[in-house]
Amino acid sequence: MTDPLTDAQIRVLGCLVEKERTTPDQYPLSTNALIAACNQRTNRDPVVAFDQRVVDAALLELRLAGLARSVRPTGSRAHKHRHVLDEAWGLHGDELAVLAVLMLRGPQTPGELRARTDRYTTFTELSEVEALLGLLAATETALVANLGRGPGQSQYRWAHTLAGRPGSSSEESVPTRADATLDGARPAATPVGAASAAGDVAARLARVERALQRIADELGITIDEPTP
């Protein structure tokens, strides 16, 4: 991983991993199923209200980054979407389970991760979760980081680093989730629909449009302007 991911990209990836493990008969996901998964009101922090435009833009960016793939199953008229984190980052099984919960629910203690990954996998001992977190933190890209203990907590909290490395917490102040920024701009972790998110979505879409234009130029094709 080279560039920090946006909140929308992280939510899409987390949902793809989650649904692969928890509802394999419905995976890969259609666009509508992925939108519904992103906007679930359970097992999500924060709760968001992504529309198709946001999800399509995140999927395109993830495909360009080599983290997701869209396929058209035999006999289907619609594309479906899957993550390729096993290929891109060499992650499997328990590693993906822990990372998905961090992507979907924010910083967690090892105990919380053990409980909240029960739909994905089974950790028989808390030490297994702690050891796995240590391995993910020790990789070259350090996919997770230790935030320290919060007030009244006996366990350290861990967060993913996909949006950039989160700041360390202190006993007096513990982040509720990893900060995510766009090109050094203000935090973009507010739910879609808030005024502060509109500029972030527009900036991401502008980057997608530039990427599409570069691809079109290389292929020698013309992209029609969208109908208002």
Confidence at residue 139, expressed as pLDDT on a 0 to 100 scale: 80
Q: Whole-structure pTM over 0.85, yes or no?
A: no
Q: Looking at the predicted structure, is the pLDDT value of residue 2 above 70?
A: no
Q: Looking at the predicted structure, is the pLDDT value of residue 56 above 70?
A: yes
Over the stretch 63-114, which tens digit does the pLDDT of each residue have?
999 999 999 877 778 899 999 999 999 999 999 999 999 999 999 999 999 9
Three-state DSSP class for residue 58: helix
Beta strands in 51-140 (DSSP E): 68-71, 80-83
Q: Looking at the predicted structure, is the pLDDT value of residue 193 above 90?
A: no
Over the stretch 126-144, which tens digit does the pLDDT of each residue have?
999 999 999 999 987 899 9
The Cβ of residue 26 has, within 10 Å, a number of other Cβ atoms equal to: 13
Q: d(Cα 84, Cα 69) in Å, to the nearest integer? A: 7
For 123-143, give one letter per residue: b (16+ CB within 10 A) or e. beeeeebbebbeebeeeeeeb
Q: d(Cα 178, Cα 167) in Å, to the nearest integer? A: 8
Q: Which domains does the chain have, with CATH numbers?
A: 7-206 (1.10.10.10)
Three-state DSSP class for residue 92: coil
